[in-house]
Structure 1
Amino acid sequence: MKNVTGRQDEKALLLEIETSGEPELVAVYGRRRVGKTFLILSVFNEKLAFEFTGTHHATLNEQLENFSLALTRASKSLPLATPPNWINAFSLLIDYLTPLIKKQRKVIFFDEFPWINTPRSGFLKAFENFWNGWASRQQNLVVVICGSAASWMIQKVINNRGGLHNRVTRRIRLMPFTLGETADFLKARKINLDHYQILQLYMAMGGIPHYLKEVKIGESATQAIDRTCFTKDGLLHDEFKNLYYSLFDNASSHMEIIRALARKNSGLSRNEIIKFSKLTSGGGMTRLLDELTESGFITAYIPFNRTSKDSIYKLTDEYSRFYLKFIENSRSRGKGSWIRFSNGTSWKSWSGIAFENICMKHASRLKRALGIENVYAEISVWHSRPRNEEKGVQIDLLIDRQDQCINICELKFSTAAFEITKSYAAELESKVAAFRNQTRTRKTLFLTMVTTFGIKNPQKYAGLIQHDLKMDILFG
């Protein structure tokens, strides 16, 4: 197996599959550029007997022709004729695999699986027949299917109500790197950046390996963002539309939702999304939200003491938020653009929101730092509308614990140690009091500060703030 940064749980599962001695149908899904193909090829490198990748928007005949070429390469035979349909194509594959799996365990890999299933092609039914009629009886065979269209993989394969119902033996949803995995990935590439520099990269690119590969040795985060996002040949300059159109049919609707959420940092309810995106309600909206959620672009949070029907959706894809804020419709182009942005007020507001989202994604690291890793807790948000003499209150992150305690987390990004002023301390006291009064909770409340470099004057407000956590704990 080749070296793969991070992905410890996924690697362990794939190695277990490799030696299970059972026929396996493995579904791997996750957003584009997240490293699915690299992971599969790295782990199963020596066992791989056949690999075929679907082509986006190709015709049935083009897909079949590409299949025959892939099978020709794998079998090292004379060129095979293009099969007339997928039933015949899988028959050829069975003929090729039969003698191989008599000797040892083998893996076959279908990448971009949703793209192979062109309209009226009969591919999915042929694959069902291949698995149910032959592959599922072969003790030495592992079939891996992989797709970036996460919602399609779930609806058509994992939750299939036809011939593939309950046939998937294992599934892996591959998520972007955590901050810790990002640091390890860059270090493996001989790129030495401190946590603050890596945090800045993450706020713009997220933990997407393909994006992070663009960072060069000796570059600062500012230089890397400037080059990849603001020069005409930069990878991320025009990635936004390519990203969504490669994943979703009618991607304009998905992008309307993303744009609506980008304008509202605190998130939107389902009805508010319909209102601000000007899309129609009904089952279509449910499907769009599910597709964006499963693909990792948005996250649904249940407000404190509410139910799932009250979910608030937030845009949690770092690159999408960065693109819509700074790249799209921006007059700044060329080298030096990001340096100009990073000295302005828009950068300060954006960095605060980006840091909040990253902290929420790394809530498990916050729990570990608080010593409550093994305590069941629910992550939620809370906000109240103004009432009587009380102002409206918003709490960025709540850790509602089963041990009758709640961590009220304040998330603050700053370029140096964060100083708590007298007015801000009063605001924090008011926020905690409002939460207590309006929720009527009897749990113990711990005010927890999460900042980049810690609090400058913690001793002055020791009775107010119970925990002072720095960004370093997010890398743990």
Structure 2
Amino acid sequence: MLRRKLERSKASEKQVVFFDELPWIASRKSGFLPAFEHFWNSWGSRRGNLLIIVCGSAAAWMIKRVIHNKGGLHGRVTRTMQLSPFNLCEAHEYLRSRKFSHNWFQTLELYMALGGVPFYLHQAQPNLSAAQNIDKLCFEPGAPLRNEFNEVYASLFENHERHLQIIKALAKTQQGLTRAELQQKAKLESGGTLSQTLEELNRSGFIGITIPFGRTKRDSLFRLTDEFSLFHQRWIEGKRLSEEAGAHWIKLRATPRWNAWSGFAFENICLKHIRQIKTSLGIAALQTESSAWRSRPKPGEKGAQIDLLVDRADNVVSLCEMKYSAAPFTITKKYAEELRNKMQVFQTATKTRKALLLAMVTANGLADNAYSQELINNRIEIAALFEP
């Protein structure tokens, strides 16, 4: 049918055929993919005026079945384009285009819960605050995103239960897990199936994988990076939600649990905006390598973890601390000691001869006191994260 339709047009006319959500069209029993392979190889590939565009939100499926296809579509892809969620700047501009009068802090709170997925942001209402929108989208009876978490994973992955076990294990830790730790906590067997599941989650943008400073790929840390998955696991999964409309989220914002979640969520957002952080540090044009690091203390020794460090070509390592708070963040005597310990343990364990500079990334600025003046070399505030 498609071939007959295209043959009716002049050969000199440009023809563009767009298949949206190919994974849905080419379901297991549909027979679509073999038919499409035959169509392209026997006829379409010889049409100089024909352009076929295929897309799908199931990134792992698209990579396996199209980009890395081992059958009739092998080597047929001309160009690939990965559409990532909006970053903070893009999300803010999008909301502004829809008549939102939100400032950066309102956009940040919405982003911490929903991430940069346009479909989620599109459902927010400009006449409501970020907290009111989160209530309406996630907590009220019949909220459109209340059951979104399970539906997303079921639609994107075959045997999605394995993927959910990994996500749930990672949601419980802010520091990330090694493969061995993740295997144990998610109660999964090691092997090719685990590797494939981790790759699918990584390629689909749900988890991030980093190689710690001075370590090898075997020591990689896996971390949950999808904002909505973290939000769902912390606030909706297994929780008894009210069946009455009300300021549910606004009430939760006053709890210690909210402080723990917001710190994790803000840190994740910072790790997605390393380019903006580098620009703020004045090293955008400098060759760098970003990673995380944690020590392996012996019994009786103090450990340390650094969630973002930037190894620079100018013989400097920037150690970045990321803190979310409703007011300017204050470095206390206790926290100052933690920072000194981090720097000392890192220098001793890695034996680096590079200079160490401490940078503080904050949502609401850094309170000026003796500790901040002594320890902090660079201060990065929310405006930097909203740069393009």
TM-score, normalised relative to structure 1? 0.78
Displacement of 1:413 in angstroms is: 0.3
Q: Could you say which residue in structure 2 is the equivalent of 1:102?
A: 11
Q: Deviations over 1:256-288 (max 9, x none)?
A: 111011112211111212111112211110111
Are residues 1:262 and 2:192 paired? no
Within 1, Cα distance between the matches of 2:27 and 2:263? 43
Displacement of 1:99 in angstroms is: 3.4
Mapped contact 1:101–1:140 kept (Cα < 8 A): no
Q: Could you say which residue in structure 2 is the equivalent of 1:473?
A: 384
Are residues 1:440 and 2:354 paired? no
Within 2, Cα distance between the matches of 1:157 and 1:347? 42
Change (3 A) 1:127 1:224: same
Are residues 1:220 and 2:120 paired? no
Displacement of 1:388 in angstroms is: 5.6
Q: Could you say which residue in structure 2 is the equivalent of 1:35?
A: none
Change (3 A) 1:388 1:279: closer
* Secondary structure in structure 1 of the residue aligned to 2:8: helix
**Pairing partner for 2:321 from 378, 399, 410:** 410
Q: Could you say which residue in structure 1 is the equivalent of 2:287?
A: 376
Within 2, Cα distance between the matches of 1:458 and 1:188? 40
* Secondary structure in structure 2 of the residue aligned to 1:391: coil
Are residues 1:345 and 2:252 paired? no
Are residues 1:300 and 2:209 paired? yes
Q: Could you say which residue in structure 2 is the equivalent of 1:240?
A: 149
Q: Deviations over 1:304-355 (max 9, x none)?
A: 1112221111011111111111112223424211111110000001100111
* Secondary structure in structure 1 of the residue aligned to 2:11: helix
* Secondary structure in structure 2 of the residue aligned to 1:97: helix
Q: For 1:136-285, what aligned pairs fall within 5 Å after superposition? A: 136-285=45-194
Change (3 A) 1:101 1:132: farther
* Secondary structure in structure 2 of the residue aligned to 1:171: coil
Letter in 2 for 1:271: A
Within 1, Cα distance between the matches of 2:265 and 2:31? 44
Displacement of 1:460 in angstroms is: 5.3
Within 1, Cα distance between the matches of 2:172 and 2:188? 16
Letter in 2 for 1:307: T
Within 1, Cα distance between the matches of 2:348 and 2:10? 67
Within 1, Cα distance between the matches of 2:55 and 2:72? 18
Q: Judge which range, 447-456 or 326-335, deviates more.
A: 326-335
Displacement of 1:121 in angstroms is: 4.3
Are residues 1:419 and 2:330 paired? yes
Q: Could you say which residue in structure 1 is the equivalent of 2:277?
A: 366
Aligned identity (percent) is 47
Letter in 1 for 2:15: K
Over the residues paired in the alignment, what is the CA RMSD in angstroms? 1.5
Are residues 1:311 and 2:220 paired? yes
Within 2, Cα distance between the matches of 1:280 and 1:408? 35
* Secondary structure in structure 2 of the residue aligned to 1:219: coil
Within 2, Cα distance between the matches of 1:404 and 1:160? 44
Letter in 2 for 1:327: I
Mapped contact 2:309–2:317 kept (Cα < 8 A): yes
Mapped contact 1:261–1:268 kept (Cα < 8 A): yes
Displacement of 1:137 in angstroms is: 2.4
* Secondary structure in structure 1 of the residue aligned to 2:52: strand
Q: Could you say which residue in structure 1 is the equivalent of 2:195?
A: 286
Q: Deviations over 1:125-170 (max 9, x none)?
A: 2222222222222222211111121111111111112222221011
Change (3 A) 1:101 1:161: farther
Displacement of 1:431 in angstroms is: 0.9
Displacement of 1:205 in angstroms is: 0.3
Displacement of 1:198 in angstroms is: 0.7
Structure 2 gaps of 5+ residues are none
* Secondary structure in structure 2 of the residue aligned to 1:102: coil
**Pairing partner for 1:325 from 225, 231, 234:** 234
* Secondary structure in structure 2 of the residue aligned to 1:212: helix
Displacement of 1:98 in angstroms is: 2.4
Letter in 2 for 1:109: F
Are residues 1:452 and 2:363 paired? yes
Displacement of 1:445 in angstroms is: 1.2
Q: How many residues of Structure 1 are paired with residues of Structure 2 in the alignment?
A: 385
Within 1, Cα distance between the matches of 2:60 and 2:351? 39
Within 1, Cα distance between the matches of 2:197 and 2:278? 32
Within 1, Cα distance between the matches of 2:206 and 2:386? 22
Displacement of 1:368 in angstroms is: 1.2
Within 2, Cα distance between the matches of 1:116 and 1:128? 14
Within 2, Cα distance between the matches of 1:310 and 1:344? 35
Within 2, Cα distance between the matches of 1:394 and 1:438? 12
Letter in 2 for 1:449: M
Mapped contact 1:417–1:455 kept (Cα < 8 A): yes
Mapped contact 1:318–1:354 kept (Cα < 8 A): yes
Q: Judge which range, 329-338 or 455-464, deviates more.
A: 455-464
Within 1, Cα distance between the matches of 2:371 and 2:235? 38
Within 2, Cα distance between the matches of 1:233 and 1:227? 9
* Secondary structure in structure 1 of the residue aligned to 2:75: coil
Letter in 1 for 2:276: R
Give the 4+ runs in structure 1 shifted more than 4 A. Answer: none
* Secondary structure in structure 2 of the residue aligned to 1:165: coil
Mapped contact 2:333–2:371 kept (Cα < 8 A): no
Mapped contact 2:270–2:322 kept (Cα < 8 A): yes
Within 1, Cα distance between the matches of 2:85 and 2:138? 19
